[in-house]
């Protein structure tokens, strides 16, 4: 039985809490397959400078690097929700996550939430912030019924923070180095406490930077758990050109998983984040923003940057196979089904199967698939690729790497369980990492 299940079963899950998360795709793993969110890019400015951020693009505390979103006025944002909600009945959450920091743009952010509260009172309101200005705005957040707030917090030690943040701007004054990191940290911690006092559900995003804060993440996790955070989301750094962290590397899948496993003993882990853009629309991993709003999101330099970054800097796959544990890649268009060919236009999701669980680990970029010798192949560490169909070239390449090619359809978990059973591992099919 997984650590997560042990902890959840000991604590039990309060029905009221369950109600608050069951249709939020970022707070419930079960919900992320079924419920959609829309991000409204109404907040262009930022009040800090993270060393991994190039401000030509969206805030990286939740978004992939190299993505640019066109900014909307609050009234335009409301129109967008009206339009999307007409065609997307499973739209349950509306969030503001950039392109800068929502609380560095309080007028636009709160005006948007005000319009939404009046027009769509039943839709969950969600926000993601660096936390610098939470103290000033905690009451307003509460009054407007913003029930879910994400705070990105990358260090609880100002020495480490000083390596991650170049400066912080407060009351028109710039604070650098350790002093800047201390100002930010004190305000983030107090902000989290204030959110807890107002019974607002909080998620903490942590950008994992190998060699800078990786060993420190369990300390952060304990601290934010003590401050009432509901869940944490460890995001891997994707280095961005023209930033101080351009030459660093992101964590490998197994490094990130090791840290998540360490933290799971004392706080829930969000492992299904897709680092979406600040104008994302739809199910996580199936962004429809570009197809729905031609004149909205700005593609161009942003997308080219993203492609370069992913092909040249993404960490190499390195999940360690071992007895009683297998990793499989599933090609899917969503709905928890094996319903996309390989290679195809769907997502490639990586699952771990053991006798205790079938656990979703991460989504990998299909553009990294190659027919080469496998040295940088995004699938070199999995035992099988499960897809609705596989072309002959792909089958040959996979065979050359010792990877099984499985063509089938139906629910992902059943397909993974069937494959695992064939390998002598008998996982529970319905175990979605505990009750959330
Ligand atoms: Fe958006 Fe963030 Fe709300 Fe979710 S995203 S503001 S909590 S509704 Fe979700 Fe996207 Fe990951 Fe964010 S998958 S980047 S965690
Ligand atoms: Fe960039 Fe977001 Fe950091 Fe601001 S908070 S500097 S937008 S990553």
Q: For residue 19, which of 92, 72, 76, 101 has the smallest C-alpha distance?
A: 92
Give yes or no for a contact between 109 and 77, defined as CB atoms under 8 angstroms apart: no
**Token pair in block for residue 170:** 């407060």
Average pLDDT, the chain: 84
Q: Which residue has the higher pLDDT, 368 or 337?
A: 337
Check pLDDT > 50 for residue 227: yes
CA of 62 to the centre of ligand 1 (A): 7
Among protein residues, the one whose CA lies closest to atom 12 of ligand 1? 62
User: Phi, psi (5° rounding) for residue 120?
Assistant: -130, 65
Question: Which ligand is closest to the CA of 98, given by its number?
Answer: 2
pLDDT of residue 205: 95
At residue 130 the predicted structure's pLDDT band, cuts being 50, 70 and 90, is very high
> For residue range 336-366, what is the model confidence (pLDDT) as tens digits?
789 888 888 777 888 889 888 888 887 776 6
Check pLDDT > 90 for residue 220: yes
pLDDT of residue 55: 73
The finding on whether 206 has its CB within 6 A of some atom of ligand 1 is no
Q: Work out the average pLDDT over 409-423.
A: 90
Range picked from 224-233, 362-371, 418-427 for highest mean pLDDT: 224-233
> For residue range 290-338, what is the model confidence (pLDDT) as tens digits?
777 754 433 322 222 233 333 334 456 667 667 788 899 998 877 778 9
Burial 313-328 (b: 16+ CB within 10 A, else e): bbbebebeeeeebbbb
Question: Which ligand is closest to the CA of 363, given by its number?
Answer: 1
Give yes or no for a contact between 214 and 260, defined as CB atoms under 8 angstroms apart: no
Query: What residue segments make up the domains of the chain, in order of their start?
Result: 3-313, 325-422
Strands across the sheet containing 268-269: 268-269, 231-236, 201-208, 146-152, 124-129, 91-96, 36-39, 281-282
pLDDT of residue 296: 41
The finding on whether 130 has its CB within 6 A of some atom of ligand 2 is yes
Least confident of 167-176, 191-200, 217-226, 310-319: 310-319
Check pLDDT > 90 for residue 96: yes
- CATH superfamily ID and name for 325-422: Dinitrogenase iron-molybdenum cofactor biosynthesis domain (3.30.420.130)
**Token pair in block for residue 105:** 């743009």
User: Phi, psi (5° rounding) for residue 295?
Assistant: -90, 0
As a whole-number percent, the residues of the chain with pLDDT over 90 amount to: 51
At residue 60 the predicted structure's pLDDT band, cuts being 50, 70 and 90, is confident
CA distances from 70 to 39, 56, 286 (A): 12, 11, 19
pLDDT of residue 407: 92
CA of 427 to the centre of ligand 1 (A): 29
Burial (CB < 10 A; 0-12, 13-18, 19+), residue 359, is buried
pTM reported for the whole predicted model: 0.81
Least confident of 106-115, 158-167, 189-198, 265-274: 265-274
pLDDT of residue 309: 35
Contacts of 367 (CB under 8 A, 6+ apart): 307, 310, 311
Among 47, 53, 63, 238, name the best residue to mutate to test ligand 2's pocket (greatest count of ligand atoms within 8 A of Cβ): 53
Fold observed for domain 3-313: TIM Barrel (3.20.20)
> For residue range 266-288, what is the model confidence (pLDDT) as tens digits?
899 998 888 887 888 888 777 77
Least confident of 104-108, 180-184, 388-392: 388-392
pLDDT of residue 301: 26
pLDDT of residue 22: 87
Q: Work out the average pLDDT over 221-230.
A: 96
């Amino acid at each position: 039985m997984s650590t997560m299940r042990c902890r959840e079963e000991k604590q039990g899950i309060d029905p009221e809490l369950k109600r608050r998360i069951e249709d939020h795709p970022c707070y419930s793993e079960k919900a992320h397959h079924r419920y959609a969110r829309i991000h409204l890019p109404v907040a262009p400015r930022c009040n800090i400078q993270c060393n991994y951020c190039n401000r030509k693009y969206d805030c990286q505390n939740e978004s992939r690097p190299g993505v640019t979103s066109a900014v909307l006025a609050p009234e335009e944002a409301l129109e967008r929700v009206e339009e999307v909600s007409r065609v997307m009945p499973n739209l349950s959450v509306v969030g503001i996550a950039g392109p800068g920091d929502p609380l560095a743009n309080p007028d636009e952010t709160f005006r948007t939430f005000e319009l939404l509260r009046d027009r769509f009172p039943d839709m969950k309101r969600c926000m993601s912030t660096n936390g610098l200005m939470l103290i000033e705005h905690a009451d307003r957040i509460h009054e407007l019924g913003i029930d879910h707030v994400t705070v990105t917090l990358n260090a609880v030690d100002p020495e480490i923070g000083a390596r991650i943040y170049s400066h912080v701007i407060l009351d028109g004054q710039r604070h650098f180095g350790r002093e800047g990191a201390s100002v930010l940290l004190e305000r983030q911690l107090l902000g989290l406490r204030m959110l807890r006092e107002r019974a607002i559900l909080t998620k903490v995003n942590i950008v994992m930077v190998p060699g800078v804060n990786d060993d420190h993440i369990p300390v952060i996790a304990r601290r934010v758990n003590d401050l009432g955070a509901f869940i944490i989301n460890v995001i891997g750094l994707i280095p961005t050109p023209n930033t101080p962290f351009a030459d660093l590397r992101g964590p490998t899948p197994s490094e990130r998983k090791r840290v998540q496993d360490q933290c799971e003993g004392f706080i829930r882990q969000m492992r299904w984040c897709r680092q979406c853009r600040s104008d994302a629309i739809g199910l996580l991993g199936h962004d429809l923003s570009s197809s729905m709003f031609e004149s909205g999101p700005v593609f161009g330099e942003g997308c080219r940057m993203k492609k370069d970054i992913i092909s040249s800097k993404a960490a190499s796959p390195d999940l360690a196979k071992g007895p009683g544990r297998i990793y499989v890649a599933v090609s899917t268009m969503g709905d928890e089904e094996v319903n996309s060919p390989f290679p195809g236009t769907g997502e490639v999701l990586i699952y771990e199967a053991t006798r205790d669980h079938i656990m979703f680990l991460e989504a990998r970029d299909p553009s990294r698939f190659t027919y080469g010798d496998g040295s940088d192949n995004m699938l070199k560490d999995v035992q099988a690729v499960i897809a609705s169909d596989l072309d002959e070239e792909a089958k040959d390449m996979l065979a050359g790497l010792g990877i099984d090619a499985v063509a089938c359809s139906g629910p992902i978990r059943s397909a993974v369980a069937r494959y695992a059973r064939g390998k002598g591992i008998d996982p529970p099919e319905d175990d979605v990492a505990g009750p959330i």
